[in-house]
Amino acid sequence: MTINQIIGNIDLYNDITPVVEEIMNGTVIDDTGNPATPEVLHSRLFSVVKVDFETECWNYAVANNMFDRFAELFPTSEREIPVDPDLVTKLALSIMYNNEDVTVPTNMRNAVDDACWQIASDEDERSYYDRYCKFFPQGNHYGEAQEAISNFPPPPPSPEDERRKIIEDLAHDPNSHTVSDVMRSGIREVPGIPADIMNFVWESNRPNIRIGNLQEDSFGATQFYVWGVKGAGKTSVLASLLSCERSNLSWPAEVKNPKGLGYFNMLRNALPQRGIGWVPDSTVSGCGQYMAMKRAGGGKQAPFVLFDVAGEVIRDMYRIAIGTLENKDIIDRFYTYLHDSNPKFHFFIYDVTSSSLDPEFGVDQDTILQTVSTYFQENDVFKKSRTLGFAIVAAKSDTLAAGGTYLDLSISAANHIQENCGALLNNLGDIARSVRQIGRHDTLPVIPFSIGKVYMQYVCRPNFDSARQLWDNYIYRNI
């Protein structure tokens, strides 16, 4: 019997029982030739024909013990349907194990609720508690389920959710995620990040720059030291400096330091004069390196040396300063240079974006650098006869005054250092006055530094304004 046949002949039925029997036994056929679902019966038959099908089906269910079928057809009925334990179990299993969105008859909801909660409790896994809460948002055990969920770590996001979040984060802050995050999620477009930057990420390989171990040597040259904790940006500052002056610098033939020469060449080719380059990562091995160079041009040019000191060496120097490390072998090589008679200038790199504490010491970079500088002073490193001066380089200053001029960067950097790096600023200032490098009422130089516009923490469109200022005002002026 089809729905259309029932509707067309309804007035011919003196007794509606044959139609009800067809409905209750599921043999009514819909327009597609398939057994009509409860939804189709309601929309195409029950709501069209003026017959109280709920009452008729209820009477048939009582007479034939077909309450399950009645509950399936009229899940919101307020009639008291006897609860079938087997049906309760069947529904609970479908909900909790098969993840099915089944319809639970109103009169059976409490029983099914309790059965589902029992399954969730027995399994005691977050996914079952989540399923219970999703199906029973106002269930009898919702509070208990939420408490149980709080004891589990949050589930990992799906790959698509993670991808979407990375894109949203980068659109707001282009350095909120790394290049690795972007490539792992297969992201090729991000609102606000130029297309050539994204193409560069996928079309070029990031170089691995290794610092190597410091070679003991001795030759006469002005020395410029770059101090800073791991990750402060020392290598990036040096890469910007050397890339800026790439065509104006050469390695002195008389200096034999192959590892230093290799490091020098890697850094001066790290950032292009025009275009896009990779931001050098923190040095991954070795304790430090010196790079000897001289300025190109006519006449005799005096050589000078840039020293890059690995962040781990700074940590060892801090350990020595606070008395937790007695073995000084790792820094003995540096003392060979620090105590020689060559003039020295000391740059202390401070990362203006970092407020984190060292995981071992529980102190910030200001405290570490201030402590190390005090140790140097007490051990005759900053002897007047060989000290040219000191300066704090505020790395990543563009984050303080985005899009501003060099003067804007200078003001923002000086204010930030005064507020966040006071211990180092005051300590170096006192030392500089004691060796007559600045006047009694002068303040220590704070140099703002930016390597350019950085994306995804490792891709850079270089700007050498900061590097040029440092070359002209501090390095070339002191050789």
Per-residue pLDDT of the chain (479 residues; tens, 9 = 90+): 898 888 888 778 778 899 999 999 999 999 889 999 989 899 998 888 888 999 999 999 989 988 878 888 998 888 877 777 888 999 999 999 998 888 887 778 899 999 999 999 999 999 999 999 999 999 999 999 999 999 999 888 889 999 999 999 999 999 999 999 999 999 999 999 999 999 999 998 887 776 666 666 667 889 999 999 988 999 999 999 999 999 999 998 888 888 889 889 989 998 998 889 999 877 655 577 889 999 876 556 788 999 998 888 888 889 989 988 876 776 777 788 888 899 999 999 999 999 889 888 999 999 999 999 999 999 899 999 999 999 999 999 988 876 667 788 889 999 999 999 999 999 999 999 998 888 888 889 999 999 999 999 999 999 999 999 999 999 999 98
The pLDDT assigned to 213 comes to: 67
- Residue 199 tokens read as 């193409």
The pLDDT assigned to 112 comes to: 93
Q: Report how far residue 395's alpha carbon sits from residue 353's, in angstroms, rounded to the nearest whole number.
A: 8
Strand partners for 224? 306, 345
Contact 360, 314 (CB under 8 A): no
The pLDDT assigned to 299 comes to: 54
Provide the CATH number for the domain formed by 222-478 in this structure.
3.40.50
The pLDDT assigned to 284 comes to: 55
Q: For the whole model, what pTM was predicted?
A: 0.69
Q: Report how far residue 385's alpha carbon sits from residue 360's, in angstroms, rounded to the nearest whole number.
A: 36
The pLDDT assigned to 50 comes to: 85
Considering the chain, tell me which residue range(s) the CATH 3.40.50 domain(s) occupy.
222-478
Q: Report how far residue 455's alpha carbon sits from residue 174's, in angstroms, rounded to the nearest whole number.
A: 5
Strand partners for 308? 226, 289
